[in-house]
Amino acid sequence: MGTPSHIRQCLTRARETFSARPAAALGEDSAAMAIWEGGLATHLRQPGAPRPRTDMPGALGGGASAPSPGWYFRAGMASCMATSIALEAALHGIELTRLEVEAHSESDARGMLGSADVPSAPLRFWLKVSVESPHASEAALRALVAAADAHSPMVEAVRRPVAVEIDLQLRAVPGA
């Protein structure tokens, strides 16, 4: 686990490098792969990492044997914001004693089922952030969270959606 001092050194070095050579900051992120298991279940794969699973609730035809893909989306949002806050705290020398981020959303399942007048995306999304520091003021902690909010990649992806391209690879099964 990196200490705040080590994190600050790494971030400062990265900022300096990327400022001098912006092209060094560009790169494709590691792919996340979902492999269908049958029914509505999948397992997720990243080389060298555990294989979490997804499934859908029973009311939608799933087996409810694992969290839904939407839960992993919310977990990614929560962990990205928590990481962004921890990065900002390290950069600014703010000691944290507690940091928790909960990601909540409200959805209308009719959108996922094809209802034309209902979006399939969440209707509302919010993050509940709990942060404590033995030495920082409330104003400093608010500024810390605001800075993290402005730089959190997943939060930014929701606020400023990127186009999703589909690279479709098909293989017909003989005799089908």
46 and 116 housed in the same domain: no
| Structure tokens that stand for 95 in this block | 């000691």
**The last residue of a domain, from among 47, 67, 87:** 67
d(CA 121, CA 158): 11
Those residues whose C-beta lies under 8 Å from the C-beta of residue 99, and which sit 6 or more positions away, are: 82, 85, 86, 89, 129, 130, 131, 132
Q: What is the pLDDT of residues 90-117, one digit of tens each?
A: 999 999 999 999 999 999 999 988 998 9
60 and 104 housed in the same domain: no
56 and 72 housed in the same domain: no
Q: Please state the pTM of the whole predicted model.
A: 0.86
Count of domains observed in the chain: 2
What is the residue whose two structure tokens read 């099964």?
A: 173
Q: What is the pLDDT of residues 7-27, one digit of tens each?
A: 989 988 988 998 899 898 889
Of 111, 114, 95, 42, the residue nearest 71 (C-alpha) = 42
In-domain check, residue 9: no
Confidence of residue 1 (pLDDT cuts 50, 70, 90): low
Q: How many CB atoms lie within 10 A of CB 95?
A: 12
